[in-house]
Amino acid sequence: MATQQRSIDTYIKSAYTQSGRWAKQTQFKAEVIQYCRGIQSSNVASSMMMSSKSTKVIIIGAPGIGKTSLLLRYCQDSFESNYKSTIGVDFEVEKCSVLGQSLTLQLWDTAGAERFKGVTTSYFRGANVVVLVFDLTQHDETLEKTKEWLLEARESCANEFELFLVGTKRDAVSEHRFESMMPTVLHYASMHDAELWITSAKTGDNVAELFQRIAIISMENLVMKELSRLRKDEIARQVQLEKSTLIRIKVEDKSSSIDRRRECCLR
C-alpha cells in the first residue's frame, strides 16, 4: 500500500465522455470548492469540513483483462507482464486530497473467474463506484461480458453508484482498429450512463487520471450529500425555533390576559 497522499486540485474529466450527468460539467461546483477550502458559511461547520471521507470502489470484469495491472500501475507505479490471476478479492487503500479535503479510496480488485463469482459479489455491497473493465484487444467478447458483471453489481448494491467503463491495453491496439471499435464502445457507455476511459497499464496512459477522476466525483458526491444533510438540519432547527417562539408568544399572551382580568377585578 502506498503511504504518500496524492493531491488533486485541478478538475479533470474523460476525453471520451459524451453523455451522462457529468458530461457538461467542466469545473468543481462552487459549493464544493467552498466546503473543501474551509470557507465559513451558515450551512457548513468547520469541524465537519475537516472530517476525513472515504469511498468504496470495486473493479470488476472478465479474467485476464488487466484489472490488477490497473491497480499496480496506480498504487505502485509498476507493471508486470506475467502475473497470476486474482483469487477471490484483493484490497488496496489509497489516500488522496481533493481541494485540500482528505479522501480515502478503498479499492477492491475482484477475481473475474466464474468459480470465484460467489465470493467476489459478496464484496459488491455498499460500493460507491463501480469500475467496469474490458480488454480492447478482445473488445467484442469482454465488452459483452461486462453486461453480466454490471447486472451482478446492480443486484448486489442497494445504493446508487457511479459507473466507469474502462478499456485496457490501449498500447496493444492499432489506431485503425481502435477507431473502428469506438462507435460500439461509445454507444455502450452512453446506454449505461457510464463514463468511458481508455487506458494502458503498461505505459501508464490515463491510469492516474482515471483514479483522480474517481476521487473527484466521489468527493463531489460526498460533499453535496453532506451539504444536503446540513441544510435539512438547519431547516428542522428553524422550524423548531419557530414553534418554540409561537408557544412562547401564546404563553405570554395568556399571561397578559390573566393580568388584565386581575386588574379589572381590583378596580
Which residues are paired to 131 by β-bridges?
59, 164
Tell me whether strands 89-98 and 101-110 are parallel, antiparallel or unpaired.
antiparallel
Backbone angle region of 197, left / alpha / beta, with phi > 0 → left and psi within -120 to 50 → alpha: beta
According to the model, what pLDDT value does residue 194 have? 94
According to the model, what pLDDT value does residue 41 have? 46
User: What are the DSSP calls for the chain, one per residue?
Assistant: ---SPEEE-S----TT--SSTTTT--S--HHHHHHHHT---SS--HHHHTS-EEEEEEEE-STTSSHHHHHHHHHHS---SS-PPP-SEEEEEEEEEETTEEEEEEEEEE--SGGGHHHHGGG-TT-SEEEEEEEGGGHHHHHHHHHHHHHHHHHH-SS--EEEEEEE-GGGS-HHHHHHHHHHHHHHHHHTT-EEEE--TTT-TTHHHHHHHHHHHHHHHHHHHHHHHHHHHHHHHHHHHHHHHHHHHHHHHHHHHHHHHHHHHH-
Q: The pTM is what?
A: 0.81
Q: Computed from CA positions of residues 118, 119, 124, 125, in that sequence, does the dihedral angle turn out positive or negative?
A: positive
According to the model, what pLDDT value does residue 157 have? 86
According to the model, what pLDDT value does residue 140 have? 92
Q: Which residues contact 68 (CB under 8 A, 6 or more apart)?
A: 83, 85, 86, 90, 109
According to the model, what pLDDT value does residue 29 have? 93
Does residue 230 contact residue 219 with C-beta atoms inside 8 Å? no
According to the model, what pLDDT value does residue 28 have? 95
According to the model, what pLDDT value does residue 1 have? 43
According to the model, what pLDDT value does residue 57 have? 96
Q: Which of 70, 1, 24, 54 has the alpha carbon at shortest distance from 215?
A: 54
| Amino acid (one-letter) located at 53 | K
Kindly list the structural domains of the chain, giving each domain's residue range(s) and its CATH number in brackets, ordered by start.
6-228 (3.40.50.300)
What parts of the chain have a pLDDT lower than 70? 1-4, 19, 39-51, 82-88, 112-120, 233-267
Q: Which residues contact 142 (CB under 8 A, 6 or more apart)?
A: 61, 62, 65, 133, 134, 135
Neighbours of 206 (CB within 10 A): 20
Cα–Cα distance between 147 and 60 in angstroms, integer? 11
